[in-house]
Structure 1
């Protein structure tokens, strides 16, 4: 993975935590978003741990550039000091798969990286609901244009509550593979990469609201 942060102490701490795991390896470090594309092209990490506030190119712009530059870009995990930061919400809207607080415990850091490396979203429904309430409402209504089926819409609504595929399957009394198919279809229709962006789209369109 690649660590991108202008704070040397943060980079040192994250590297120490992650390199101590037998299944994880830090391939490189960057001090600013401007360095991200060249390093990703050379190192090809699965995950980029991206600070949001950096002097030249911030994590939001760096995330947008990274996801636009490749058909199969690495997953982006935002590393932030404050969970209720507009920068965090904008990074999620730009395509980050989740966020991690800098004060997180080592075990939480490791688990977050593993989740994102598996291609899953690090989804905190309550946090995203709070962020959407404070900073949302700026996106186009992608849901209307996506023409989701009733069942796809039902699956999306359950996704916004943080339920996993097995939990959604149990709620709807269907098989897990059926849920996976619905999730894949609705992601494709919304034109988003993962569950985090689907949930953001649900709030941005008014499909669900921060107040419930």
Structure 2
């Protein structure tokens, strides 16, 4: 297994998840900033520093198996899956019920890859995370995602409640690690962290590189 060095010490990371709210955002302010894209959210921001996935099905299953497309992504691929491509940064998945993993060879997550991505920012040394697409609910018309990629798996009733519970379980340990988290969707059903508009989150940061 690999491990993660503190390459982003003191920086802000944007964790780009798949929630439908991102569809209405102008993401251009992300240019020059640290971005971790989860699964097919990378379609919305292909310049992400890191592509993170935890489920090998996302990599291999039709109708949108990514193994044919990964060559177009120029950043680093990190996963807790035993499947997927060779030559990526592969970390060990651990139970998040006791908080995030402090071992840089591990990531805590169970029901949502967002937890693992946040844990990754802790290992990288970030001091703040801005969450995008962490909606905790479907969008208008039942829309599940902003990126348009087809998913081969049906929606599981109660998933958002499980996500909320997982975030509540890890939030204290994230704070103890010195990472502030904000959810850049004022309408998010996830109420674990402070919420604000994306534009407000950008305005409170230092200029992009």
TM-score (norm 1): 0.34
User: 1 or 2, which has the higher helix percentage?
Assistant: 1
User: 1 or 2, which has the higher strand percentage?
Assistant: 2
Who wins on radius of gyration, i.e. which is larger? 1
Higher relative CO (Cα under 8 Å, sequence separation at least 6) belongs to 2
